[in-house]
């Protein structure tokens, strides 16, 4: 069983997609052992509780310094002894110690086709605003392993989504979630759980 911890900050629709996929058997050999939010009001925490998944908040507001928060976050993650850490809309800069410890064992979902519209400052709705502002006709989502850069790690899965005339950032965000994020994030976890992914030289390789 792959022990998975999911880190969240907000609504938690990606968390929901993972939970549903595990319950339906679309993700196999996987147990979601914990959910951690940096925001105590995140609806994602409620979603976890409804499914009987241990959930807790570790907020930077509870600590005097960033270093103390970083230590507490890493301890909280370690406490679940995960095989895989999934960043599902987690809008916190990951502590360097955590990146090192979970190298090739931590993935992130980003709402664009990396390397477009990614890096510092590109998160949530801002990504979709930037895509519409640039006038691209296709966008999408990417699941990647987390390295020391922002959205620079080895790419695992991507899925393209068409942009339509008259799209607002909110409409586009919803379409990217439905058509890409909620599909590729569960699939990525299933691939990892079934030993089908290897990482080498900054790239991933899929075996059947
Ligand atoms: C998702 O669109 C996710 O891709 C994005 O935040 C949203 C969280 O929604 N993540 C980033 O922008 C990371 N750079 P959710 O809480 O409903 O899953």
Question: With a 6 A CB cut-off, is 43 part of the ligand 1 pocket?
Answer: no
Number of Cβ within 10 Å of residue 9's Cβ equals 19
- With 90 as the cut, is the pLDDT of residue 208 above it? no
Nearest CA to ligand 1 atom 6: 89
CA distance 141 to 113: 5
Q: What's the alpha-carbon Rg for the chain, to the nearest Å?
A: 16
Whole-model pTM: value is 0.98
The reply to whether 110 belongs to the active site is yes
Q: pLDDT digit string (tens) for 166-182?
A: 999 999 999 999 999 99
Q: pLDDT digit string (tens) for 57-87?
A: 999 999 999 999 999 999 999 999 999 999 9
Number of Cβ within 10 Å of residue 186's Cβ equals 23
**From the CA of 176, how far away is ligand 1's center (Å)?**
10
Question: With a 6 A CB cut-off, is 13 part of the ligand 1 pocket?
Answer: yes
CA distance 30 to 59: 27
Which atom of ligand 1 is the closest one to the Cα of 15?
18
Identify the domain containing residue 175 by its residue range.
Answer: 2-206
Question: With a 6 A CB cut-off, is 181 part of the ligand 1 pocket?
Answer: yes
What's the pLDDT at 158? 98
Beta bridge partners of 204: 199
Query: Which CATH number is 81's domain given?
Result: 3.40.50.170
Q: pLDDT digit string (tens) for 89-142?
A: 999 999 999 999 999 999 999 999 999 999 999 999 999 999 999 999 999 999
Domains contained in the chain, number = 1
């Amino acid at each position: 069983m792959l022990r998975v911890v999911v880190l969240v900050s907000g609504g938690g629709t990606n968390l929901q997609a993972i939970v549903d996929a595990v319950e339906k058997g679309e993700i196999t050999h996987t147990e979601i052992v914990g959910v951690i939010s940096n925001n105590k009001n995140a609806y994602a925490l409620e979603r976890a509780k409804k499914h009987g998944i241990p959930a807790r908040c570790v907020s930077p507001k509870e600590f005097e310094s960033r270093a103390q928060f970083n230590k507490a976050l890493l301890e909280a993650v370690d406490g679940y002894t995960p095989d895989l850490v999934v960043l599902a809309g987690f809008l916190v800069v990951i502590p360097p110690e955590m990146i090192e410890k979970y190298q090739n064992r931590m993935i992130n979902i980003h709402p664009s086709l990396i390397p477009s519209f990614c890096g510092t400052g590109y998160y949530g709705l801002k990504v979709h605003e930037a895509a519409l502002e640039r006038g691209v006709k296709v966008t999408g989502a990417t699941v990647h392993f987390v390295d020391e850069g922002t959205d620079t790690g080895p790419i695992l899965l991507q899925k393209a989504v068409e942009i339509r005339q008259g799209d607002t950032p909110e409409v586009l965000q919803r379409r990217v979630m439905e058509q890409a994020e909620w599909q590729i994030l569960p699939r990525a976890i299933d691939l990892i759980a079934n030993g089908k992914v290897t990482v080498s030289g900054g790239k991933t390789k899929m075996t059947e």
